[in-house]
Structure 1
Amino acid sequence: MTSSSLMFTVRRCQPELVPPAAPTPREVKLLSDIDDQEGMRFNSPVIFIYRHKPSMVEKDPLKVLRHALSRTLVYYYPLAGRIREGAGRKLMVDCTGEGVMFIEAEADVTLDQFGDALHPPFPCFQQLLYDVPGSTQIIDRPIRQIQVTRLKCGGFIVAMNWNHTLGDAAGLRQFMTAWAEMARGAHRPSIQPVWNREILMARDPPRITCNHLEYKQIFSPNTIKEEDTASLVHRSFFFRASDIAALRLLVPFHLRQCTTFDLIASCFWCCRTKALQLEADKEVRMMCVVNARSRFNINNSPLVGYYGNCFAYPAAVTTAGKLCGNPFGYAVELVRKLKAEVTEEYMHSVADLMVIKERCLFTTVRSCVISDLTRARLSEVNFGWGEGVYGGVAKGGAGTFPGSTYIVPYKNINGEETLMLPICLPSEDMKRFAKELDEMLGNQNYPTPSAHNFAMSTL
């Protein structure tokens, strides 16, 4: 059975609310002005996959995880509440203690039957995370929706909608680690969560002090074809160490010390722009997500325990003609400069901009966004069954914006460490993207594993 033809049946119990295991404060907590911007108001599906472990045969992962979740929510009690919207579209958490949505399920499939398809796009993903009515909304709904699916082989899959207004990848990792620690018998999380959203509230009066090209609004009567989400397909591309080395050889000597992130982000930007066949004079943007935790000096300590959103995505801007017509080093030079733009002042300026411009959305026209999830190490989350076979995003694209992607660490079926780039594009553009990437890497047979060629309609 091939991954593209894999079909299986999932039997689900009725969704139920899992509340904190002990009483928690009944209060209302404001989200920061970074948290509640328009670009964060979506649920991001993430997935964690675990193999059978003989020493755990007496333990039911569904019961273990459910019990541990209720204990974890005592510490992360805002997640058991509900998001409300106040004046000026300000978001807040009503800490009601109602709980998160939890679904127990069983599937008539083994991990081995997935073959090398244990990465985005996942076959039958809609079976692994049930679409509870209203689950795409974030206001007055459970903040977390989790489905734990037991497999025939004894392994299991944890799929979850992560409400982005409550936290970023670092926050997700912190919560998942705490949940896993409780599942392994800990009495409390090793890192105590802190709210501290006031750190990233707008100043009084708000003032924009930095240049924010990522929020420059472009109004065009001719929206680009990539926004036709009905024709989107999902596909993952993989970068081996040899591929990174090939990209590094394409840049001039003074850029050879650039990071792997710089290379992959630039490669994605160039190949995607060429695939979209944009007119040469059209402005294009690459926005790079930068974790700003280390940019703050609060009591001489980083934001330890902070699980809210603490990042910005500064934009590199050029024209399609310049990006595609110049050597690869041109794009790398633009991308590598972005990270230095994010300072504590930059973050305050973004928060102020959100208030002044009514929580506007980032620029989506001819734009793309890339996040580095390698440091989140989500596959290392261990509930007692060992590290995951996979841990990370369930697909490319964030919310309703298809131009976003992530760099995810991935170990293939042969045990080879690679970096994965899940993306979504219209079908014909995806074919051109693959061709452009082939040529850039100098590998006409790329990608070699059959799973790399597996494309699926919008998940």
Structure 2
Amino acid sequence: MERMRLSNIDQVAPHKHIGFVYLYEGNQAKDFCSLEILKASLSKTLVLLYPLAGRFVDGEDGRKEINCNAEGCLFVVARSDLTSYNITFEPSPELRKLFIPCADFPGSLSLVATVQVTYLKCGGVVLGISTNHILIDGSSLFYFVQTWARITRGDMANIIPPSFDHNLLRGRSPPRISCHHPEYTTDPPPASFPTCVTNTFKISSEQIRSLKSQSRGVDRSTRISTFSIISGLVWKCYCICQGLAPSTQARLMFNANIRERLCPPLPKTYFGNAVIRKYATSKVSQITCNPVAVVAEIVQAAIDGITDEFVRSFIDYLEVMNMKGRNLRPALDLSESELRIASIARFPVNDADFGWDAPQQLSKAEATGNNVVYVLDEPGNEGGYQLYVSLDPTLMPRFKKAFYKELVSQVIENHGCFSLKSAGYTARL
């Protein structure tokens, strides 16, 4: 049986399952969400993406490997008296328990992927998919869903073969650490995370363009990414709601996809973790007292610093720490001056069309700690985004106020509109 060795970046990914749920409203198709069809197409998908059907094992050197033994993935079928109208599609422990197969039984962490198909009373179906983060990042997970959907539809011509060549992210010999990498720590993980509440916030393409218009110059405005604008907005609102002292050094941790940042780039269908974490850092006064676009420039500068050399330095750093017997992990236990943001936008829900139309809802199954923001495309609103914000319950009202105040100020500045009701924010302020 083939043993698949994992990259250094895989080794420091959290060894846990990350789940997403898709809601499909019932339709008149006679084969709507047919179990027979789904199982048959999943079997074909697992032939192409064969590591998903394997099991995690420890190698001789203690590093995680995948035993590609074709044991398959966990497939669960459930029926519920719930309807789509009384389910809140926001990350929560309840959403995970309802629609993601239980992954806390002995040996569950050896599973690479799990699937649950839940038939609702209203005729709709929720598809819950979870994959172990130690092999799969967001791009790989959605490539799996896209491939499964295409095989189900019979769209074989548009399936692009995956790349499992983890040697593409091998360290240099000898290692050369040329950059600082504080985003990872050797400290043991916390036993538990503080209680948090997750709320959904939405932002339209027009509001994003409005925020970008605050930039210092025309050329600068066109260069700032949408992710930087959204990050600048939530970072500013977070610093305001925390009431941090102006001289405090605040940090924003973000995930960066490195597939196109290497020279040469990784294959687009590279299957594995190709995401690293990086900080944007600034004094609170520079964040809270400036327009969002200026804060976004701080984020953009940090993103632009992720070069081929930065990534190679990070891989070498992981290699050196491993040789020293020091186990690294992401520094995800954040202080009050730190916020983490991750984006899984640019993965259109249409890619999850199994032949019964695109899903009406897509949500991460569960939040993964305090002071965390997830960015997703908003289904049915082209160019719009939904943000899942997880904070201490006492901070959420202040964050909401800051968030909508910032958006309303843009309506007033750009359109001369002083009616908050017409801007659609009355109920939220």
- TM-score tier, shorter chain, comes to 0.7 to 0.9
Among residues 207, 212, 215, which one is paired with 2:176 in the alignment?
A: 207
1:442 positional shift: 2.4
Show the 5 A alignment for 1:380-395.
Answer: 380-395=351-366
User: 1:348-406, CA deviations, whole angstroms, 9 ceiling, x for partnerless residues?
Assistant: 21111122233422334333332332212244311111111123523443xxx433322
User: Is 1:262 the counterpart of 2:228 in the alignment?
Assistant: yes
1:288 positional shift: 2.7
Structure-2 separation of matches of 1:268 and 1:387? 29
1:69 positional shift: 1.2
Is contact 1:62-1:150 (8 Å) kept?
no
Paired position in structure 2 for 1:5 = none
Is contact 1:50-1:156 (8 Å) kept?
yes
Among residues 144, 147, 162, which one is paired with 1:178 in the alignment?
A: 147
Show the 5 A alignment for 1:31-42.
Answer: 31-37=6-12, 39-42=13-16
1:345 positional shift: 2.4
Paired position in structure 2 for 1:369 = 340
Paired position in structure 2 for 1:345 = 309
Structure-2 separation of matches of 1:396 and 1:447? 27
State the secondary structure of the residue aligned to 1:294: coil
Cα gap change, 1:361 to 1:436, in 2 (>3 Å):
same
Paired position in structure 2 for 1:457 = none
Structure-1 separation of matches of 2:372 and 2:208? 21
User: Is 1:191 the counterpart of 2:152 in the alignment?
Assistant: no
Structure-1 separation of matches of 2:209 and 2:33? 44
Is contact 2:257-2:276 (8 Å) kept?
yes
User: Is 1:360 the counterpart of 2:335 in the alignment?
Assistant: no
State the secondary structure of the residue aligned to 2:45: helix
User: Is 1:48 the counterpart of 2:22 in the alignment?
Assistant: yes
One-letter code aligned to 2:208:
I
Tell me the TM-score normalised to structure 1 length. 0.79
Paired position in structure 2 for 1:111 = 84
Is contact 1:206-1:353 (8 Å) kept?
yes
User: Is 1:305 the counterpart of 2:269 in the alignment?
Assistant: yes
Among residues 350, 367, 390, which one is paired with 1:424 in the alignment?
A: 390
Paired position in structure 1 for 2:376 = 408
Is contact 2:246-2:283 (8 Å) kept?
yes
Structure-2 separation of matches of 1:311 and 1:137? 24
Is contact 2:33-2:125 (8 Å) kept?
no
Is contact 2:3-2:67 (8 Å) kept?
yes
Paired position in structure 2 for 1:295 = 261
1:311 positional shift: 2.3
Greater CA drift, 376-385 or 105-114? 105-114
Cα gap change, 1:374 to 1:285, in 2 (>3 Å):
same
User: Is 1:238 the counterpart of 2:195 in the alignment?
Assistant: no
Paired position in structure 2 for 1:91 = 64
1:109 positional shift: 3.1
Greater CA drift, 363-372 or 339-348? 363-372
Among residues 117, 121, 142, which one is paired with 2:111 in the alignment?
A: 142
1:229 positional shift: 3.5
Q: Could you list the structure 1 runs, at least 4 aligned residues long, displaced by more than 6 angstroms after superposition.
A: 216-219, 443-447
User: 1:297-350, CA deviations, whole angstroms, 9 ceiling, x for partnerless residues?
Assistant: 44xx75143111112232211233443344444422211112222223222211
State the secondary structure of the residue aligned to 1:313: strand
Is contact 1:29-1:94 (8 Å) kept?
yes
1:63 positional shift: 2.6
1:88 positional shift: 6.0
State the secondary structure of the residue aligned to 2:77: strand
Is contact 2:149-2:351 (8 Å) kept?
no
Is contact 2:89-2:363 (8 Å) kept?
no
Overall identity of the aligned pairs, in %? 25
One-letter code aligned to 1:407:
V
1:252 positional shift: 2.8
User: 1:419-454, CA deviations, whole angstroms, 9 ceiling, x for partnerless residues?
Assistant: 11101111111111111112222266787598x89x
User: 1:239-261, CA deviations, whole angstroms, 9 ceiling, x for partnerless residues?
Assistant: 12343244234443354322221
CA RMSD of aligned residues (A): 3.2
Paired position in structure 2 for 1:286 = 252
Structure-2 separation of matches of 1:341 and 1:40? 24
Structure-1 separation of matches of 2:213 and 2:157? 48
Paired position in structure 1 for 2:35 = 62
Cα gap change, 1:363 to 1:142, in 2 (>3 Å):
closer
